[in-house]
């Protein structure tokens, strides 16, 4: 678990690195000579970290060698954010909730108070027992893989379950075609163990390549190899019997159908609903960041993590039966389009926090000290309104961000901070407009 959490945190940091680099296109400014030198150092550190990952060695954190340009520029906080993320890659900053616990636990803290866990267990049990009764009633024990399927593809949401079941079905179908061709055309002509090894290797290589790929398709590679082995390696000698594999494949198809129906209509846990909840949680973390958290790293990291979860659930929601319904699919699509505007707003927020914490002397003007929290509160209220829209379907209330921004501009903030505040106001207003449609 600690290793998985560390890798997840590093992947999120790489996503933030890419998002920060993409901000250069939005600012449309030519880097100065010193800024370009800093970018070269960031690129060198990225290559050093990539080499460490590929060789399995541990990279040491890069020293803080950033320097300011001759003149303040909107590129300065973006450069600082790039340097900060590169320094954090070897240590993998994580929010507190993602840190490993002191010791292993038999149950999660809310195991006895959250009904979702009991509902999940009952759904998986219902599907498995239905399959058991079905193949026992028809006296077809060969399709017992339907009950195994119910156990191995059960996941938290209907979309995740159907996605894994689809990968299992696709992998077994490809393996079946390869096994049938091998049994009919190859196995009868085999006379040595070397030929069998070559046959197994020819299927294992692409299956392993798929299994080591993206999470979206990796499970299909495992199923491809496993099903092929079961079909071809049935004993100590060559076999031309395809009955066993036929029965197993029929069982898998039946199990997938049962699981899809049970998880879609019995206490359904929709990935689309989880997407909306994760996005709302990210917006609330962003609101906390806008109000000025004591330690901005925790809400910022948690917001990035929630946005990544919303992205993942958005992909899984396409596998749910609701995606086949035009109204439900349209609703999920409207929520999905809010993820990218939220990410763009968070990117500017992170740059703004970095700019304010960069060690510049505080402005002595009292109006400046009052204008900053007022602008942050307005941004937080606007983000909270979008979160309420996602959670409860409430109308997005109008929030005036421009008036606090005008007061802040009249207070004489640094040019870089004012440019970032204007960019943040633009992106939050764009997010609100998109939320009104959703």
Going 259 to 260 to 263 to 266, the CA torsion angle's sign is: negative
Burial class (CB in 10 A: 0-12, 13-18, 19+), 51: exposed
Question: How high is the pLDDT of residue 237?
Answer: 66
* Of residues 31 and 170, more confidently modeled: 170
- What average pLDDT score do residues 274-293 get? 88
Provide the 10 A C-beta neighbour count for residue 235: 7
Q: For the segment 108-133, what is each residue's pLDDT rounded down to a tens digit? A: 677 778 888 888 999 999 999 999 99
Read off φ and ψ for residue 92, nearest 5 degrees. Answer: 55, 75
Q: For the segment 359-406, what is each residue's pLDDT rounded down to a tens digit? A: 554 544 666 677 888 888 899 999 988 888 888 777 778 888 888 888
Provide the 10 A C-beta neighbour count for residue 204: 17
- What average pLDDT score do residues 297-301 get? 82
pLDDT band at 62 (very low <50, low <70, confident <90, very high): low
Q: Which two tokens stand for residue 212?
A: 């080591």
Question: How high is the pLDDT of residue 95?
Answer: 44
Is the confidence at residue 255, as pLDDT, over 90?
yes
- What average pLDDT score do residues 195-209 get? 92
Q: Can you tell me which residue has the tokens 């055309």?
A: 185
User: Which of 124-133, 146-155, 252-261, 331-340 comes out lowest in average pLDDT?
Assistant: 331-340
Scored b (16 or more CB within 10 A) or e, 210-220 reads: bbeeeeeeebb
Query: Which range among 1-5, 221-225, 302-306 has the greatest average pLDDT?
Result: 221-225
- What average pLDDT score do residues 279-283 get? 91
- What average pLDDT score do residues 325-334 get? 65
* Of residues 332 and 307, more confidently modeled: 307
- What average pLDDT score do residues 123-145 get? 93
**Residue-range domain boundaries for the chain:** 2-98, 117-265, 273-437
Question: How high is the pLDDT of residue 411?
Answer: 75
Question: How high is the pLDDT of residue 146?
Answer: 93
- Percent pLDDT > 70 in the chain is 79
**Dist. CA 432–CA 437, nearest whole Å:** 9
Question: How high is the pLDDT of residue 254?
Answer: 94
- Helices and strands per DSSP (H, E), number in the chain: 16, 0
Q: Can you tell me which residue has the tokens 């029929």?
A: 250
Burial class (CB in 10 A: 0-12, 13-18, 19+), 71: exposed
Mutual orientation of helices 33-55 and 75-88 as an angle, nearest 10°?
20
Is the confidence at residue 12, as pLDDT, over 80?
no
User: Which of 62-66, 228-232, 294-298, 323-327 comes out lowest in average pLDDT?
Assistant: 62-66
- What average pLDDT score do residues 181-186 get? 87
375 neighbors 393 (Cβ within 8 angstroms): no
Q: Output the CA angle 62-66-68, nearest 5 degrees.
A: 175
pLDDT band at 28 (very low <50, low <70, confident <90, very high): low
Question: How high is the pLDDT of residue 303?
Answer: 87
pLDDT band at 161 (very low <50, low <70, confident <90, very high): confident
Is the confidence at residue 270, as pLDDT, over 60?
yes
- What average pLDDT score do residues 72-86 get? 72
- What average pLDDT score do residues 208-229 get? 90
The 8 Å CB, 24+ separation contacts for 330-333 are 331/272, 331/438, 332/272, 332/275
Grouping H, G, I as helix, E, B as strand and the rest as coil, residue 25 is helix
**Dist. CA 80–CA 68, nearest whole Å:** 9
**Torsion angle, CA of 165/170/174/176, rounded to 10 degrees?**
40
pLDDT band at 308 (very low <50, low <70, confident <90, very high): confident
123 neighbors 266 (Cβ within 8 angstroms): yes
DSSP strands (E only) in 55-100? none
**Dist. CA 18–CA 16, nearest whole Å:** 5
**Dist. CA 394–CA 436, nearest whole Å:** 10
DSSP strands (E only) in 97-140? none
Q: Residue length, the chain?
A: 438
Q: For the segment 412-436, what is each residue's pLDDT rounded down to a tens digit? A: 777 777 878 888 888 888 888 888 8
């Amino acid at each position: 678990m600690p290793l998985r959490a560390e890798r997840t945190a590093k992947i999120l940091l790489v996503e933030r690195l890419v998002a920060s680099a993409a901000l250069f296109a939005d600012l449309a400014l030519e880097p100065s000579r010193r800024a370009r030198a800093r970018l070269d150092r960031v690129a060198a550190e990225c290559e050093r970290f990539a080499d460490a990952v590929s060789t399995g060695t541990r990279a040491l954190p890069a020293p803080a060698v950033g320097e300011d340009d001759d003149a303040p520029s909107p590129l300065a906080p973006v450069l600082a954010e790039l340097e900060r993320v590169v320094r954090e890659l070897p240590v993998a900053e994580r929010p507190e909730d993602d840190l490993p616990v002191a010791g292993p636990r038999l149950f999660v803290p809310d195991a006895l108070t959250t009904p979702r866990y009991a509902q999940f267990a009952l759904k998986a049990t219902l599907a498995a027992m239905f399959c058991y009764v079905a193949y026992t009633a028809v006296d077809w024990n060969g399709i017992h893989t339907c009950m195994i399927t119910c156990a191995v593809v059960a996941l938290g949401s209907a979309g995740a379950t159907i996605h894994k079941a689809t990968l299992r079905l696709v992998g077994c179908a490809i393996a079946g075609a390869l096994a049938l061709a091998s049994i009919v055309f190859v196995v009868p002509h085999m006379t040595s163990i070397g030929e069998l090894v070559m046959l197994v290797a020819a299927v294992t290589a692409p299956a392993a390549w798929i299994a080591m790929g993206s999470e979206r398709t990796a499970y299909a590679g495992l199923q491809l190899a496993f099903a092929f082995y079961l079909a071809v390696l049935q004993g100590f000698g060559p076999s031309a019997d395809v009955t066993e594999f036929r029965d197993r494949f029929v069982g898998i198809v039946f199990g997938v159908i049962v699981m899809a129906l049970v998880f879609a209509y019995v206490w359904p846990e929709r990935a689309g609903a989880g997407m909306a909840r994760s996005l709302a949680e990210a917006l609330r973390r962003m609101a906390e960041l806008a109000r000025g958290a004591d330690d901005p790293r925790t809400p910022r990291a948690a917001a990035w993590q929630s946005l990544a979860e919303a992205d993942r659930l958005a992909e899984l929601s396409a596998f749910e039966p609701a995606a086949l319904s035009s109204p439900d699919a349209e609703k999920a699509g409207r929520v999905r389009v809010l993820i990218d505007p939220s990410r763009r707003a968070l990117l500017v927020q992170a740059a703004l926090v970095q700019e304010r914490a960069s060690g510049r002397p505080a402005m002595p003007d009292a109006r400046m000290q009052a204008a900053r929290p007022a602008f942050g509160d307005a941004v937080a209220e606007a983000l909270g309104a979008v979160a309420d829209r996602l959670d409860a379907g409430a109308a997005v209330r109008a929030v005036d961000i421009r008036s606090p921004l005008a007061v802040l501009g009249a207070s004489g903030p640094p040019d870089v901070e004012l440019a970032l505040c204007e960019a943040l106001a633009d992106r939050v207003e764009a997010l609100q407009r998109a939320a009104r449609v959703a």
